[in-house]
Amino acid sequence: MYGHQTRSGAVVDGKLGNLQAAAIAVDDDGLIVAANNAALSLLGWAAWELVGQDFHDLLHRDRYGHLMPRTRCRMRKALLTGDTRHGDAEWFARGDGTLVQLSWLVTPCKPGPGVIGALVMLYESKQEDSHHSDAGPSAPLTELDRLALLAETTTQLTSTLDVDEALHRLAALTVPRLADWAVFDVLTERDEVRRVLVMEHKDGNLVEREDLQGPMPPVPTESPMPLSRALRGAASSLAGPATYQGPPDSGIAVEQQRLFTETGMHSAVIAPIRGLRDVLGALTLGRAQRHDAFTPADLPLLEDLTRRAGLALDNARLYQRQRKVAETMQRHLLPQLPVLPGLEMTARYVPSPDASAVGGDWYDAFALAAHTHALVIGDVVGHDLDAAAGMAQVRNMLRAFAWSHPDAAPSAVVTRLDEAVMHIAEVPMATMILAMLTLGDDALWRLSWTTAGHPPPLLITHDGQARYLDEAHGMLLGTGVTRPRPDAVTVLPPRATLVLYTDGLVESPHHSIDHGLDRLRRHAASLAHRPLDSFCDSLLNQVRPSDNDDDVAMIALRTPPAAQEQ
């Protein structure tokens, strides 16, 4: 282990040289105080080239080999604030000028008496480490190794809200680092058991064994077997083939006999995965290729891992449940479109690509009189369950006002709705278009509409001319500002396409709304000859910004050919 005299006169403790992982000690200014042999070998530097240098400036790089900006460096922030932090797959400069991709862990320490600093551990990513496993006894994890694993587990599991993704990440963290096999048994919301994931380390790769996955028998209430106890929330325990050699006391015991036979596991640890309120499942780690068996000393680490897994799965399940409720409510409120003679009509609703965003976008279409139908597109401000609930309030009130006054102008109906939104609905603000579609005596369809802060309708003629109907633009709902709302009327040409849409189709964090509207207009014009369903699908695929996390509602109609064309 190599050290140097710090400014305070403290000499770094020689215990750093006993660490198996690459370790570098720094002082409170981020200057390198010492590095062990593993770090010198991994980075290809000599000790005299490292000590006394700024760790960040000398070693940390971006993927292109450039100096990592200090303001974006999580390592430096952790060094200066005294936090424990972990990072995965970042780039560091070797002594020969090449780059190496490493994971890192920073934790506070005292490099010497009276000196406050930090310890930086560097190690190859798990993908690289997985190729170096052998069937011999594995080296026991040091306390720092355990701390690094737990920090990496926390980072990996808290960065996803997908249950399946979280389980795959935990499997990749534990196999082959701790075991040759990882088995996840999960309790569903109906207390049914499913073996949702079985991962094996084979020939240097992680292989999912789907033949060992699937439904499991129910959890027995009295069985003393390890997996049954874990699924009831009991403490973790050791298991082996002998554990399940006797007459099985339950269907789960039969499946466990099969598991040990098929995998060749000679030693396993099984621990419950607990959420905040309930047991969510169990994790089994097994060894088959390695000769060393698990011991009681391994149980605390497994319990720490499953505790983190339980919190992550609890959050993911809670979120997915809320997401499903919101989406189900939205879809149930989106209506069956009416059938109008000679007129084609279709609609689309696309949830946000970001699973954290559920919005208040909606469309509607309903009959008001024999030859008059209402068309609606709207968006309640927000991206959560409250927005979806607010959308339901606004949609239902609008239907009631429009139905009770079928001869009223669109602006009059929206004015009444705005008053109700201010005094009755729990909606901050909303945008919308209300349009009335009427068939005239000349067999042409007329559109009268008013816009409340919403992107304007788009009209595309059959010959590919597209223009926005922006003549009736008024204030959005819920502002409290009282102003007359305008109406506009236009005749829809034969074989024309009218599109009403929400802003998720045209807005992007990196471009202006004008850019999005122009993009929509040009693409819509190019698709004028497409069948209406194909027109809508292509429009969504070509126009919707890939960097927009908003949902999209869209309703489109196409007028029939002129009488002489039919």
Both 499 and 390 in a single domain?
yes
Q: Are residues 230 and 289 in the same domain?
A: yes
- The pLDDT, as a whole number, for residue 345 is 95
Both 350 and 395 in one domain: the answer is yes
> Contact, 150 vs 304, CB < 8 A?
yes
Of all helices (H) and strands (E), which one includes residue 110? Answer: strand 99-112
The per-residue DSSP string of 208-267 comes to: E-GGG-EEEPPPPSS--SHHHHHHTTPPPEEE-GGGG-S--SSHHHHHHHHHHHHH--SE
Is 196 found in the same domain as 117?
no
- Please state the domain count of the chain: 3
Quick one: DSSP state of residue 442? T
Give the domain CATH number at 90: 3.30.450.20
Are 270 and 227 within 8 A, CB to CB? yes
Indicate the residue type of 214: G
Residue 327 counted as domain residue: no
Residue 112's pLDDT band, with cuts at 50, 70 and 90, is low
Are 173 and 126 in contact by the 8 Å Cβ rule? The answer is yes
Residue 317 sits in the same domain as residue 341: no
Higher pLDDT: 332 or 145? It is: 145
Strands 445-452 and 473-474: parallel
User: Whole-angstrom Cα distance, residue 501 to residue 547?
Assistant: 18
Same structural domain, 9 and 140: no
Q: Under a CB-based contact definition with an 8 Å cutoff, are residues 78 and 161 in contact?
A: no
The range of the structural domain enclosing residue 303 comes to 134-321
Dihedral class, residue 466 (left if φ above 0, else alpha if ψ from -120 to 50, else beta): beta
306 and 417 housed in the same domain: no
Domain at 302, CATH number: 3.30.450.40
pTM of structure: 0.52
One domain, residues 283 and 387: no
Query: The tokens of 561 are what?
Result: 């050919």
Q: Does residue 367 share a domain with residue 434?
A: yes
**Residue 329 within a domain:** no
Are 389 and 297 in a shared domain? no
pLDDT above 90: residue 90: no
Helix residue spans in 251-367 (DSSP H): 251-263, 299-333
Mark whether 155 and 300 lie in a shared domain.
Answer: yes
Query: Is the pLDDT at 14 greater than 60, yes or no?
Result: no
Same domain? For 442 and 524 the reply is yes
pLDDT in tens, 120-165: 888 875 443 433 444 444 556 667 777 778 877 887 777 777 788 8
**Weakest-pLDDT range from 14-18, 25-29, 189-193, 468-472:** 14-18
Q: What is the CATH number of the domain that holds 513?
A: 3.60.40.10
Look at residues 291, 321, 351 and tell me which one is the last residue of a structural domain: 321
184: enclosing H helix or E strand: strand 181-187
Q: Which one is predicted more confidently, 401 or 277?
A: 401
Given this model, what pLDDT does residue 231 score?
92
Token pair, residue 99, equals 């780059």
Report whether pLDDT(338) > 80: yes
Peptide bond into 108 cis (omega under 30): no
* 560 assigned to some structural domain: yes
List pLDDT tens digits, range 405-462. Answer: 888 999 999 999 999 888 877 777 889 999 999 998 888 999 999 999 999 999 999 9
Domain boundary among 280, 296, 321: 321
In a domain, 129, yes or no: no
Among the listed residues 29, 187, 184, the one whose alpha carbon sits nearest the alpha carbon of residue 111: 29
Partners of 206 in beta bridges:
201
Final residue before a domain boundary, out of 79, 94, 124: 124
Burial class of residue 149 (count of CB atoms within 10 Å of its CB; 0-12, 13-18, 19+):
buried
Q: How far apart are CA 30 and CA 58, in angstroms?
A: 11
Give me the chain's average pLDDT, please: 84
Contacts 24+ apart (CB under 8 A), 436-443: 436/368, 436/372, 436/373, 436/374, 436/375, 436/410, 437/340, 437/372, 437/373, 437/374, 437/375, 437/557, 438/371, 438/372, 439/340, 439/341, 439/371, 440/491, 443/563
